């Protein structure tokens, strides 16, 4: 085995070290979890020629290729250029000659220039799903252009509706498509389907009014669109203007995992993209301009929510409907804080290996 392998450098190029010495796993970005099918030919060739014949769907919706030998990495990178150019430059309009906004003369043989901003996860959204409020795939492409390539870490998950199948609450920056729902009373036949569905599957803000016509408590409608989906006469419709919730500070991991909380509600797409455009500025400030790996939630803890808000909203013009959380508190700040319990004496005697 070559003992001079620079694992850190290879990780930057999106190769993950294997438990098998001298082998690595390449992770291909798939922004928004969709790629034109012709790119699968490139992927399958990598698996067949240099990998172990399989690809694994990564937890962040990457295409992963285990079993790549260290000595083959230059050849894989050279072959990979067609995929990177196709996906990043052609599909997402990414400028590969910049890293973190600084000029970077991308050499096609170098593979990915950085792994900092992770692949954007997304559910299929309204391209297919009957519940979808937004086109998650188009939004992912716009965001890829803003966040990649950068050494600063960020995980973005995009859900097409508040059902949040993609777990926007468990990443640095979750985006959830929501809809303002218009009511057309002249079409309502008072069947009560929307009231039942909102009660069963959503926030219970509908109640039956005179002749069964629904009455909505506007305070707490989450814009999921379930009422639209079940109405037989089209009395509820989604307003064509798209809105988003932005959830921040969620994270998994060994240290204080936690669900994110809502930062923006009813934000326009311009606001979401503007805020993401400031993410790197915020990360750089919070990390003293050294892009080390830390979840966004840790950076927000470090900076404090008010400072985060000041930097992340800098220059962003909020749409009139947009609501910004005044304050956000998380409980999960101290490791083991919930387990400060003294064990009974006989338990303590059991020593290491006890399941107590
Ligand atoms: S989050 Fe909503 S739009 Fe996306 S797959 Fe789930 S139900 Fe469909
Ligand atoms: S959009 Fe609002 S009213 Fe309609 S089902 Fe969802 S929460 Fe209920
Ligand atoms: S589902 Fe449609 S028709 Fe039935 S009560 Fe609701 S709005 Fe009226």
Among candidates 122, 31, 22, which has minimal Cα distance to 67? 22
Phi and psi (nearest 5°) for 214? -70, 145
Nearest-angstrom CA–CA distance, 26 and 80: 10
pLDDT at 282: 96
3-state SS of 115-183 is: CCECCCEECCHHHCCCCCCCCHHHHHHHHHHHHCCCCCCECEEEECCCCCCCCHHHCCEEEEEEEEEEE
Distance 75 CA to ligand 2 centre (A): 53
Share of the chain above pLDDT 70, in %: 92
Report yes or no: 166 and 140 within 8 Å, Cβ to Cβ.
Answer: no
Phi/psi at 172 (5° precision): -65, -45
**Ligand 3 site, residue 255, Cβ cutoff 6 A:** no
Residue ID of nearest Cα to ligand 3 atom 2: 231
Q: How confident is the model at residue 198 (pLDDT cuts 50, 70, 90)?
A: very high
Residue 132: pLDDT band by 50, 70, 90 thresholds?
very high
The topology under which CATH files domain 7-110 is Sulfite Reductase Hemoprotein; domain 2 (3.90.480)
User: How would you class 72 by CB atoms within 10 Å of its CB: exposed for 0-12, middle for 13-18, buried for 19 or more?
Assistant: middle
Please name the residue whose Cα sits nearest to atom 3 of ligand 2: 221
Of the listed ligands, the closest to the CA of 137 is 1
Give the whole-angstrom CA distance, residue 356 versus residue 170.
Answer: 29
| Ligand 3 pocket check for 215: Cβ under 6 Å | no
130-182+235-324 matches 7-110 in CATH topology:
no
| 205 pocket-lining for ligand 2 (C-beta < 6 Å) | yes
Q: How far away, in angstroms, is 259 Cα from ligand 1 center?
A: 19
In the chain, where the domains are located: 7-110, 130-182+235-324
**CA of residue 52 to ligand 1 center, whole Å:** 33
With a 6 Å cutoff on the Cβ, whether 224 touches ligand 2 is yes
> Is there a cis peptide before residue 149, judged by omega within 30 degrees of 0?
yes
* Total-model pTM: 0.92
When comparing pLDDT for 173 and 107, which is higher?
173
CATH classification of 130-182+235-324, choosing from 3.20.20.60, 3.30.413.10, 3.20.20.70, 3.30.930.10?
3.30.413.10
Higher pLDDT, 332 or 158: 158
Residue 245 CA to ligand 1 center (angstroms) comes to: 14
What the block records as the tokens of 13 is 């190029």
Ligand nearest to the CA of 174: 1
């Amino acid at each position: 085995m070559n003992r001079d392998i620079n694992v850190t450098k290879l990780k930057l190029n999106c190769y993950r070290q294997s438990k098998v010495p001298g082998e690595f796993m390449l992770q291909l970005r798939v922004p928004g979890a969709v790629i034109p099918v012709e790119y699968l030919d490139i992927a399958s060739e990598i698996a067949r020629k240099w990998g172990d014949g399989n690809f694994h769907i990564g937890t962040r919706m990457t295409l992963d290729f285990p079993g790549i030998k260290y000595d083959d990495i230059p050849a894989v990178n050279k072959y990979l250029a067609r995929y990177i150019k196709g996906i990043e430059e052609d599909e997402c309009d990414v400028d590969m000659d910049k890293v973190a906004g600084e000029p970077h003369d991308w050499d096609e043989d170098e593979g990915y220039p950085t792994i900092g901003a992770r692949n954007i996860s997304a559910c299929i959204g309204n391209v297919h799903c009957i519940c979808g409020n937004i086109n998650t795939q188009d939004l992912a492409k716009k965001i890829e252009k803003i966040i990649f390539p950068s050494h600063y870490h960020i995980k973005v998950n995009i859900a097409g509706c508040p059902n949040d199948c993609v777990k926007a609450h468990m990443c640095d920056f979750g985006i959830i498509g929501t809809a303002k729902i218009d009511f057309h009373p002249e079409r309502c036949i008072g069947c009560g389907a929307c009231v039942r569905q909102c009660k069963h599957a959503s926030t219970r803000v509908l109640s039956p009014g005179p002749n069964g016509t629904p009455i909505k408590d506007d305070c707490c409608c989450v814009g999921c669109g379930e009422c639209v989906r079940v109405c037989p006469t089209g009395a509820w419709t989604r307003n064509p203007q798209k809105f988003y919730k932005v959830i921040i500070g969620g994270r998994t991991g060994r240290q204080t995992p936690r669900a994110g909380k809502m930062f923006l509600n009813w934000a326009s797409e311009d606001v979401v993209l503007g805020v993401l455009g400031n993410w790197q500025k915020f990360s750089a400030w919070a990390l003293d301009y050294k892009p080390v790996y830390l979840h966004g939630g840790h950076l927000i803890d470090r900076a404090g929510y008010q400072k985060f808000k000041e930097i992340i909203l800098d220059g962003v013009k909020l749409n009139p409907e947009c609501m910004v959380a005044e304050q956000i508190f998380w409980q999960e700040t101290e490791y083991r804080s919930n387990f400060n319990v003294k064990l009974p004496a006989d338990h303590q005697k059991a020593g290491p290996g006890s399941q107590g």
